Structure 1
Amino acid sequence: MNHNTVNRLYWGLTGLLLCLLAGLSMRPSAAAGQTGLPVTHCLPLPPSTGAVITISNEAALRNQAYHAAPGTTLLIQPGVYQMQGFMHVVNAGISLRGATGNRGDVVLDFGGMVGGHFGILVEADDVTIADLTIQNANDHAVSIQGRDRPVLYNLHIRDIGDQLVKVNPFANGSEDGLLACSRLEYSTTAPDEYTNGISAHNAHRWTVRDNEWYRIRTPGNSPVPTILFWSGSSDTIVERNLLVDCYQGISFGNSGHGADDHLGGVVRNNMIYASQPHDVVIEMVHASGWLVAHNTALLLNPGSGLTWGMEARFSDSQGTFAYNLTNMDIWGNRDGANGTLTGNLTNAESGWFVNAAAGDLHLAATAVAAIDQALPLPQVMDDFDGDGRPIGPAPDIGADEYGGAPFEPTDWIYLPIITR
């Protein structure tokens, strides 16, 4: 073999190796249980189109929140703002946005869960609050006073005295709200026995999606739902949320109210993990016309006497639990409720999941009892990651569709083979 032949062979093999490495490096990174290219549900919000005021100090921020003309965006520069009072938004179309898009760069600190200031009071329609952190408010981080089309997006809300987000039942209630792509949490617990992650009264067509919720609980383990829609709310969508060590999970309606406390709505593709003491994690109470489908809940520390993790309660409650994956019973007819149970699996084990101790409830290959065991539901065409259902011959039970990423030739980069 002459020198030129050796060179050609060397460069040819080198080029082939680079092709292989490039092809591997261009593949999307996917955790176990994911496949293909999941839909991205948390893209940055589009740039503002109206007037923009750049904010760099606390006094200007509170002043402009109240006085800025309708449609104005307050673009808040990076920093920690030690708030000297609450923020009050009264003009329609105001946007409060962190300048960088990184919610950790702008921190609004209201002084303390006890003894601090109220957070942001919204008394106008079409208000957006995005790309920032709200912490240490003594009441609510954000309170929507019966206003329509609020957008709460890419927020970090932590350590708030009472409910982190409140929707109050003023006028005809709040319509078409969005809480998405945010992290809401307590470092340990609330300061007292009164809190929720979001408590929404008379709220209609709200969507709560793609959020992380951590330790929404009280010191005495009072039954406070993390996500609560009640007082005549309707058509709520709660999807693709992760709840970790919250005392109680998702509730449509409240046991202290009466019939029609919630109408319609869907709870789908949520993952719920509880290692600290907990109550039920999905409950439909004085609620009718709902669907609770393809949720995954691993519940490891139930309260005394608790043997079920999801429930429908009272005779006016009617809806369907379908293809949920959990390790505790689902009680569909508590106190005379009319909850239909379809294809749920209630004997899940920690070993069925990728990393249960870390709250990662994607399916592992060991979850054979859940994989390809559901029937299609038109209301649930994707999963927790946005992967389409089904990946195999049938949908999987629970929030995750298990499957490896298929080989796609379009993922490859082809490099020229050098033959000199």
Structure 2
Amino acid sequence: MTTRQDWHPAAPPLRPPTGDIIHVTTVDELFAAVEDVQPGGTILIADGHYLLPTVFTVSRDDVCVRSASGDRDAVVLDAADSDHGELFGFTECHNVTVADLTIRNVLHNGFKLNANIGRSVRAITIHNCVAHNVWQRGLKGVSGPEADDDSGLPLRPAGGSAPSRPRHFVDDCVVRYCLFHNDRPKRLDDEPYEQENPANFDGNYVAGMDVMSARNWHVHDNVFAGIQGRNGGARGAIFFWQGSENVRIEGNVIVDCDSGMWLGLSWPPEDTRHCVRYTVRDNRIARPGRTGILLSRHKDSLVQGNTVFDPFVGDERRPATDIDDGGVLVATDSPRCRPLRVGDDNDGLRIEDNLLVGDEDIHVGQDAGRIELRRNWWLQTAFPDPFVESDIGDLRLTDVGQALASR
């Protein structure tokens, strides 16, 4: 897939920069600018290919980092020669915008929200950016700092054998009009963790975005393409879990990814509500390998108006890693795709007006909890093609498709 198709969501331009402006034309100037920029200021990066020697981290409030031209393909921040596994970090900063640029060739995390440090991060906006060939997470957001035991905040894993602890939320972030794509499935030699621990994930530790403890996030009008593990077990292209609340996921396009969305998991056992008051609406998912949308441990969430197209049947699928209702990876010789998979322990989950085209209908697990299914349409086959151009993942409905979906 090229970086932009005419049917992808089109990003509106940002407003002209305000405040003090620092113009950047070299790598050294870029790293100096992030130290010198003041609140309200903007770093404008000239078109070019910037080989970064290490991670680039923003630690100031109220700043913007963007390309001068507004062309996201013309400014490339490249980690191919970096001494660090991450490319673009956010640490103890609030109200930061990154726009109109590309990051690529990253071992671990492309955009990394270091929310567990100090006063955390808040109100990060990533607008019209590209994350290309990032071999763990295009965007990684970890949980906020530890909170007091009586805080009432959800428990999150503490790491290792330590007991889970309550942690603060990561608030008010926006990811919009971005492209997350990899050129091929992940290999074991793409990054050191998989090389050193091949038995842990077998080359499947990869996702588009993986976010913990989110609150009041909006993820919309993005494209995810080719996010695939070594043998079909990549996490969701969009993956939210660990006590996240009030998240809107709308208008995204997901093509040729092992899983479209993982929203909630069955682990850790004591974290009983991964996803509270979610709205998952009007997303289009083409050719998912294992699942279109996985829903587990939701409370008062709405999944509405999404489309999942899975044209493959039977022996067209290669033996590969599968997932269960809670998102746990399992080996299988008979892989199948669940276009909409309702997992465990839900309470007040509404699923309505979704269109599924393919071999499987909605799957509801035996421990799904309290859910409501209304007006969901399943077409095992669809002829003529109800979509504008399903071969390339364009699942906008034709007039025929509109008629089928409204029957």
TM-score (norm 2): 0.77
- Contact 2:207–2:234 (8 Å) recurs in 1: no
Q: Does 1:101 align with 2:100?
A: no
Q: Which residue of 1 aligns with 2:161?
A: none
RMSD between aligned residues = 2.1
2:177 to 154, 163, 181: 181
Contact 2:57–2:88 (8 Å) recurs in 1? yes
Q: Distance in 2 between matches of 1:169 and 1:315?
A: 22
1:120 aligns with 2:88: yes
Unaligned 5+ residue runs, structure 2? 1-5, 116-120, 146-167, 191-202, 323-333
Higher relative contact order (CA 8 A, sep 6+): 1
Contact 2:138–2:207 under 8 Å retained in 1: yes
Q: Give the superposition deviation at 1:287.
A: 1.5
Q: Does 1:343 align with 2:381?
A: no
Partner of 1:52: 21
Aligned residue number for residue 259 of structure 2: 248
Change (3 A) 1:237 1:103: same
C-alpha distance after superposition, 1:128-153 (max 9, x if no partner): 11000100122111111221110100
Q: How does 1:268-347 map to 2 (within 5 A)?
A: 268-274=281-287, 278-301=289-312, 304=334, 306=336, 308-327=338-357, 328-347=360-379
- Secondary structure of 2:61's counterpart equals coil
Counterpart of 2:301 in 1: which secondary structure?
Answer: strand
Task: Give, in whole Å, the separation in 2 of the partners of 1:170 and 1:232.
Answer: 11
Q: How many residues align?
A: 333
With over 3 angstroms needed to count, the CA separation of the structure-2 counterparts of 1:106 and 1:336, relative to structure 1, is closer
Q: Is the 8 A contact 1:325 1:370 kept in 2?
A: no
Structure 2 matches for 1:213-224, cutoff 5 A?
A: 213-224=224-235
Q: Percent identity?
A: 24
| SS, match of residue 281 in structure 1 | strand
- After superposition, what is the alpha-carbon deviation per residue over 1:153-202, rounded to whole angstroms, capped at 9, x for unaligned? 01011101211101111222311111001111001123332121111111
Q: Which secondary structure does the structure 2 equivalent of 1:59 belong to?
A: helix
Structure 1, unmatched stretches of 5+, are 1-29, 32-39, 374-420
1:85 to 37, 44, 54: 54
Deviations 1:54-100 (A, max 9, x none): 00000111222234222221000010001111101111112110000
Whichever of the two has the greater Rg, that structure is 1
TM-score by length of structure 1 reads: 0.75
Quote the Cα distance in structure 1 between the aligned partners of 2:124 and 2:143: 14
Q: How does 1:8-407 map to 2 (within 5 A)?
A: 42-111=11-80, 117-123=85-91, 124-146=93-115, 147-171=121-145, 172-190=168-186, 191=190, 192-257=203-268, 258-274=271-287, 278-301=289-312, 304=334, 306=336, 308-327=338-357, 328-347=360-379, 349=382, 351-367=385-401, 370-373=404-407
Q: Does the aligned pair in 2 maintain the 1:199–1:227 contact within 8 Å?
A: yes
Q: Distance in 2 between matches of 1:332 and 1:340?
A: 11
The answer to which structure has the higher strand fraction is: 2
CA distance in 2, matches of 1:57, 1:307: 47
Partner Cα distance (2:394, 2:276) in 1: 31
Q: CA deviation at 1:331?
A: 2.2
Q: Is the 8 A contact 1:214 1:245 kept in 2?
A: yes
Provide closer, same or farther for how the CA distance between residues 162 and 368 of structure 1 changes in structure 2, counting only shifts above 3 A.
Answer: closer
Letter of the 1:338 counterpart: R
SS class of match (1:100):
coil
SS at match of 2:289: coil
Say whether the 8 Å CA contact 1:235–1:264 is kept in structure 2.
yes
Aligned 8 A contact 1:216 1:247 in 2: yes
